[in-house]
Chains A and B, each alone.
Chain A
Amino acid sequence: MRRMTRQRYLAIKIESTQPIDEKEFKQTVWNTISRLFGEYGASKTGLVVVEYDANKNRAILRCANVATEIIRASLTSITEIDTKPAAVHVIRASGTLKSLHKNLPHTNK
């Protein structure tokens, strides 16, 4: 029987002086991962943007458990999103979306 790949959910806080939309954010994250780890490395992350809240500047990403550090390192090295100065912080990581929402401060869900 094929074993299921373990996933990790990361709650992200995006800090910028200007508004950032989901498309710009996704593009920057993928570009950063590809630049640091190459397309082969990026393909192993299994990265998906599960939620994106442009008003709160928050996002939830899902990735393969083994690639969590790759994603963290890549997010840390983001200094601008579409030429807008920005910083991305991982505020919480969890194995399930339910527990991530439960432990996330000021979440509506």
Chain B
Amino acid sequence: MKKFYDLHLRVPLEDFGLAERIINRASKLGYSGVGVPLPPHTSNETVSKLQHLCDSVDIDFVTRADFVPKSANELLMLLRRFRRKFEVISVLCLSKAVARQAAKDRRVDLISFPSIDVKKRFFDAAEAELAANALASFEVDLFSIISASSFERVRLLSSLRREVALADKFSVPVVFSSGASGEFSMRTPRDFAAVGLLFDMPLPRALDALSTNPLTIIKRNRAKLNPKFVAPGIRIIQRGKDCEE
């Protein structure tokens, strides 16, 4: 059975009652894990509270940071400071320079673009090629499609159709996330997968965008954040006296 992940559940950190209800709802809707965007300087106490909430409903908690850098240098600085603190790093690209840097940097997991301003969607063939080489995934926030007004939605779907086809051509994984911030903006994974139909994404690929693709990112990053990790394919098995034999 597939494990479904919603990597962008915007849980309000100031209202733990609502946070608890949202996480409970995610569990009831059939998600195995949720990614909660946290501010870079989040206290360990907040993280452990959220972890506890997720553990209580048997759901995997994934820490995520959303960066909105103004320049490529700012992105590099943010990555240097916070990459090892979060399991998933997402970059919202507002300029072409940031988009290119995010796509070629192996520390970036998800690249996303503003949903309303279609002119700021820089996911073209060059971007897709860079992202494919750096193992970055293309993130689609589904609630932005659902909540958009009619004309905005037409333009957004048109852009997404082209971008998803490019991602397919260059083998860039697509990740679907809800972007939900309330109980009424959450849907079952199967219902979200059906939204892929609106931009010509086949159902099996849409289901992968909610299960296999996010899970691959999480597994890869957890392995890297493990203290025993040295480099891809190399990890410490034993230390100290055990190694003398």
Q: Which residues of A contact B (CB under 8 A)?
A: 15-16, 35-36, 69-70, 72-73, 75-77, 79, 85-87, 89-90
Question: In the assembly, what is the distance between CA of A15 and CA of B29, in Å?
Answer: 13
CB distance from A34 to the nearest CB of B (A): 11
Q: Are A76 and B150 in contact (CB under 8 A)?
A: no
Q: Are B195 and A76 in contact (CB under 8 A)?
A: yes
CB distance from A80 to the nearest CB of B (A): 9
Q: Which residues of B contact A72 (CB under 8 A)?
A: 190-191, 194
Q: Are A73 and B184 in contact (CB under 8 A)?
A: no
Number of interface residues of B (CB under 8 A): 19
Q: Are B184 and A79 in contact (CB under 8 A)?
A: yes
CB distance from B205 to the nearest CB of A (A): 13
Question: In the assembly, what is the distance between CA of A35 and CA of B150, in Å?
Answer: 8
Number of A-B contacts (CB under 8 A): 44
Is B203's beta carbon under 8 Å from chain A? yes
Q: Are B194 and A73 in contact (CB under 8 A)?
A: yes
Q: Which residues of B contact A (CB under 8 A)?
A: 29, 145-147, 150, 183-188, 190-192, 194-195, 197-198, 203
Q: Which of A70, A87, A90 is within 8 Å of B186, CB to CB?
A: A87
CB distance from A77 to the nearest CB of B (A): 5
Determine the main DSSP class of B at the interface with A: helix
Q: Are B146 and A79 in contact (CB under 8 A)?
A: yes
CB distance from B182 to the nearest CB of A (A): 9
Q: Are B197 and A79 in contact (CB under 8 A)?
A: no
Q: Which residues of B contact A69 (CB under 8 A)?
A: 194, 197, 203
3 nearest A-B residue pairs (beta carbon): A72-B194, A76-B191, A73-B194
Q: Which residues of B contact A90 (CB under 8 A)?
A: 188, 190-191
Nearest residue (CB) in B for A72 is: B194
Q: Are B191 and A75 in contact (CB under 8 A)?
A: yes
Which residue, of A35, A72, A76, has the highest number of chain B Cβ atoms within 10 A? A76
Q: Are B185 and A87 in contact (CB under 8 A)?
A: yes
CB distance from B183 to the nearest CB of A (A): 8
Q: Which residues of A contact B197 (CB under 8 A)?
A: 69-70, 73
Nearest residue (CB) in A for B193 is: A72
Question: In the assembly, what is the distance between CA of A85 and CA of B186, in Å?
Answer: 12
